[in-house]
Amino acid sequence: MLPVKHIEKAAPLSDEQLLAQYQSGGDQQVLATLYLRYTDLVYGTAMKYLKEQELAKDAVMNIYQELVRKLQQQQVTTFRSWLYVVTKNHCLMFIRKQKNSVVVEFQPDLMQSEDFSHLDEALEKEKELQKLESCIENLAAEQQQAIRLFYLEGKCYNEIVTATGQEWNKIRSLVQNGRRNLKNCMEK
Residue 88 and residue 140 in one domain: no
Helix ranges, the chain (H) = 4-10, 15-25, 28-36, 39-50, 53-70, 79-100, 117-138, 141-147, 157-164, 168-187
* Residue-by-residue pLDDT tens, the chain, 188 positions: 445 554 445 568 888 888 888 888 888 888 888 888 888 989 998 999 888 899 999 989 998 888 888 888 888 888 888 889 999 998 898 888 887 665 556 666 555 555 566 667 778 888 888 888 888 888 898 988 988 888 888 888 889 889 899 999 998 999 899 899 988 988 88
Residue 15 and residue 94 in one domain: yes
Domain residue limits at 137: 123-187
Residue 24 and residue 60 in one domain: yes
Please give the tally of structural domains in the chain.
2
Sign of CA dihedral 41, 44, 48, 49: positive
Residue 52 and residue 138 in one domain: no
Residue 21 and residue 83 in one domain: yes
Residue 45 and residue 92 in one domain: yes
Please list, residue by residue across 173-184, b when 16 or more beta carbons sit within 10 angstroms of its beta carbon and e when fewer do.
ebbebbeebbee
Residue 13 and residue 95 in one domain: yes
116 inside domain = no
Residue 185 CA to residue 14 CA, distance in Å, equals 42
The answer to whether the pTM exceeds 0.85 is no
Residue 93 and residue 37 in one domain: yes
132 inside domain = yes
Residue 179 CA to residue 136 CA, distance in Å, equals 9
CATH of the domain at 45: 1.10.1740.10
CB of 52 closer than 8 Å to CB of 91? no
Residue 8 and residue 86 in one domain: yes
Residue 96 and residue 9 in one domain: yes
Give me the pLDDT at residue 110, please. Answer: 58
Residue 95 and residue 45 in one domain: yes
